[in-house]
Structure 1
Amino acid sequence: MARAAGVSPATVSYVMNGQRGVSVDTRRRVLAVANELGFRVSGRTRSRDPQLTRVVGLIVPNIVNPMYTGWAQHIITATAEEGFDVFVATTQDDADSLSQIAATLAARNVDGVIIAAALRHDARSLQTLRQHRIPYVYLSRRSEQVPGDFVGIDDEAAASQLMLHVLGHGYTEIATVIGPRFSTASLARENAFVRTASNAGITIAGERRVSTRLNAQGGAAAAQRLLSSPRPPAAIVCGSDEIAIGVMEHALTLGLRIPEDLAVVGSDGLPHSRSKLIGMTTIVQPVQKMAHKAFALLLDQITTKRTTVIHAICDHELHLGTSCGCPADPHSAR
């Protein structure tokens, strides 16, 4: 196997026994060859590893939003390839829950943590991990108080692109609905929505800027508030696909047609959102790439104990559906 991987037998031994001193790229190459040849790191070998528990934590706000379950599934796949298990915990976007989970993961002596549920002004949970010298990586959102590796998209650029597309349809009565503002991703998207519209001469007043829960129920609640006003918007720009779906569902209960009576666009690019059934115009995040990059950065910290901070910004795409008013593409496989 050493010859097939182009490394020394000692390097193979280090990798298969979970020892440090091997670069991430070499480790991946050896494990890929091992998988091809049918070799596996046994649980018995892992348990004898004196340095690693071979368990990482993954903290997400919930497992209702498919964006989080998508990240979780890809992270579990990536970690399994490296012989790690994943402890998944949800916070429901509660600061106390996040702090308790961080303490629990520290007590379990996990090798590292991927955090997709960071709160902008939170420091307690991150300080707990730092005090226990547990590496962590922010995914999608981060704390402004504690630095750390980050994987995400350029939320401001993506939100601006989405708003420009909506403005291109000629809409002037526009509302925005985002997730909680204690999420750096949600806040960045809202700020970019409003700023981009303002630069085009369109003012989005405070009552038309709604923050809600990151699920369809939150979107429905926001839509109820916006669409019951004396001057309901003609277009609603959302910072999440699940929020957008909730908006669309409530609009349909009122007998409104999408997009003829109300245009709705989202952000995330979930597969069902882009289906022909829903046809949502949305920003597509590269879920698999982000998940694998987050674990790669975490594994790099685990194996090298570096002190530098890396921010990895992944490319996003604008998917054009029909929910914004664009015509259906007969050749699209939405």
Structure 2
Amino acid sequence: MATMKQVAERAGVSISTVSHVINNTRAVSADVRKRVLDIIDEMRYVPSAVARSLKNDKTNTIGVLVPNSSNPYFAELIRWIEDAAFELGYHIILCNTHGGAQKQSAYLRLLMERRIDGLVLVASGADEEHELLLRSHESVPIIQLDRALPGLDADLVLAGQEEGAYRATRHLIELGHRAIACVSGPADLPRSCERVGGFLRAMAEAGIEVPDDDIIRGEFNSAGGLAAFSSLLTRPRRPTAVFVTSDLMAIGGLCAASSAGVRVPAELSVVGYDDICAACYASPPLTTIAPPKREMARLAVGRLIERIRGGGEALRSIALDSALVVRASTAPLY
């Protein structure tokens, strides 16, 4: 691989002149610039990003830490983060925690060692080790996306979970349903609890009592939804509608309903949450709550880069509204 010294020797100029041509840090005559650039092209010289970062103290790299990139919701969020960063001249390093606190801490340490300029954090959960790690790196700007990590003083961009769930449940109530169950994720996940809270608020406002066994919990995936619906649909008192706190769970629920011979929406209305790409291709297409993923990513990356460049002193918490997207999985109760 060619070096800057070899380029300089071939062009008959100093190493500093080659550096000025590459980085546009000082005026260089047109003839010299052309000669240097031609030789760079001929020798296929690639400037060292590591060396440049050591000199400038910037890598133009953002770390992105997410719980699970195989989950379509996070995959779509990552796509918009990457797009927003690229438009502003930054690249991303993506790390998956798979929901594990130890892996989250290890990846946080790795990202800091890679000299990232900033971090987009979609937290898996809190533990003492990574909270101490985050606090020890106050020189690296951090923005929290989609959820807050307790004890971390950093900017936050999210969509209101409780309000979205409330809106989904109100949709079912306005269609005439009263026997409405809720299929949710694990009780130890804050987003799961917030969405159940929105469901319960809407039901309470409508004067509808919710038996304890009408809230069924499972894993935030299609298998978890299939298992929850399989249990729900075998009851003597079957609900006429279900609010599901994840599209993946809802899609699993649609499969369970089909296997049980329960027609959706004629016999059972279903609302999901997240508006993943697959929701509109489900059978039937899924009514769901759509967080503004693209706008969340754009705001988070923009705010982070503002921090990286030394701007924006006051911490901000930005909460965006989610939209109800009505498709064919819900219908009035006749």
With structure 2 as the length reference, what TM-score do the two structures score? 0.78
| Structure 1 residues 293 and 46: alpha-carbon distance in aligned structure 2, compared to 1, 3 A threshold | farther
- SS of 2:300's equivalent in the other structure is helix
What are the within-5 Å matches in structure 2 for residues 176-215 of structure 1?
A: 176-215=182-221
| Structure 1 residues 95 and 52: alpha-carbon distance in aligned structure 2, compared to 1, 3 A threshold | same
Match of 2:267 among 261, 264, 274: 261
**Counterpart amino acid of 2:81?**
I
| Structure 1 residues 224 and 96: alpha-carbon distance in aligned structure 2, compared to 1, 3 A threshold | farther
CA distance in 1, matches of 2:267, 2:255: 13
- SS of 1:114's equivalent in the other structure is strand
Match of 1:81 among 80, 87, 95: 87
**Counterpart amino acid of 2:204?**
S
2:264–2:284 Cα contact (<8 Å) kept: no
| Structure 1 residues 275 and 54: alpha-carbon distance in aligned structure 2, compared to 1, 3 A threshold | same
Gaps of 5+ in 1: 1-15, 20-41, 328-334
- SS of 2:262's equivalent in the other structure is coil
Displacement of 1:149:
1.4
1:67–1:270 Cα contact (<8 Å) kept: yes
CA distance in 2, matches of 1:300, 1:182: 34
Match of 1:124 among 123, 129, 141: 129
- SS of 2:149's equivalent in the other structure is coil
Match of 2:114 in 1: 108
Displacement of 1:191:
0.6
Confirm or deny that 1:284 pairs with 2:290. yes
Q: Which moved more, 1:298-307 or 1:280-289?
A: 298-307
CA distance in 1, matches of 2:256, 2:24: 51
- SS of 2:277's equivalent in the other structure is coil
CA distance in 2, matches of 1:192, 1:99: 31
Indicate the percent of aligned positions where both proteins have the same amino acid.
29
Displacement of 1:157:
1.9
| Structure 1 residues 229 and 98: alpha-carbon distance in aligned structure 2, compared to 1, 3 A threshold | farther
Match of 2:33 in 1: none
What are the within-5 Å matches in structure 2 for residues 226-241 of structure 1?
A: 226-241=232-247
CA distance in 1, matches of 2:121, 2:85: 15
Q: Can you list the C-alpha shifts for 1:226-276, whole angstroms capped at 9, x where unaligned?
A: 223443322110112111111111111112111122211011122331348
Match of 2:303 among 297, 309, 312: 297
Displacement of 1:72:
0.8
CA distance in 2, matches of 1:251, 1:127: 47
Q: Can you list the C-alpha shifts for 1:36-95, whole angstroms capped at 9, x where unaligned?
A: xxxxxx973854132112222212221222111111111112222233221112222222
Match of 1:168 among 166, 174, 190: 174
1:65–1:214 Cα contact (<8 Å) kept: no
Displacement of 1:17:
6.4
Q: Can you list the C-alpha shifts for 1:299-334, whole angstroms capped at 9, x where unaligned?
A: 12211165532112223211111211159xxxxxxx
CA distance in 1, matches of 2:46, 2:217: 46
CA distance in 1, matches of 2:214, 2:178: 12
Displacement of 1:165:
0.9
Q: Which has the larger radius of gyration?
A: 2
1:176–1:209 Cα contact (<8 Å) kept: yes
CA distance in 2, matches of 1:176, 1:147: 33
With structure 1 as the length reference, what TM-score do the two structures score? 0.78
Match of 1:219 among 221, 225, 229: 225
Displacement of 1:122:
4.1
CA distance in 1, matches of 2:228, 2:269: 15
1:123–1:146 Cα contact (<8 Å) kept: no
CA distance in 1, matches of 2:24, 2:157: 25
| Structure 1 residues 17 and 45: alpha-carbon distance in aligned structure 2, compared to 1, 3 A threshold | farther
CA distance in 1, matches of 2:161, 2:318: 13
Please give the root-mean-square deviation of Cα atoms over the aligned residues, in Å: 2.6
Displacement of 1:225:
2.9
Confirm or deny that 1:315 pairs with 2:318. no
1:272–1:278 Cα contact (<8 Å) kept: no
Match of 2:6 in 1: none
CA distance in 1, matches of 2:116, 2:46: 16
2:279–2:286 Cα contact (<8 Å) kept: yes
**Counterpart amino acid of 1:141?**
R
- SS of 2:158's equivalent in the other structure is strand
CA distance in 2, matches of 1:43, 1:312: 40
Gaps of 5+ in 2: 1-21, 26-44
- SS of 1:274's equivalent in the other structure is helix
| Structure 1 residues 72 and 199: alpha-carbon distance in aligned structure 2, compared to 1, 3 A threshold | same
2:180–2:240 Cα contact (<8 Å) kept: yes
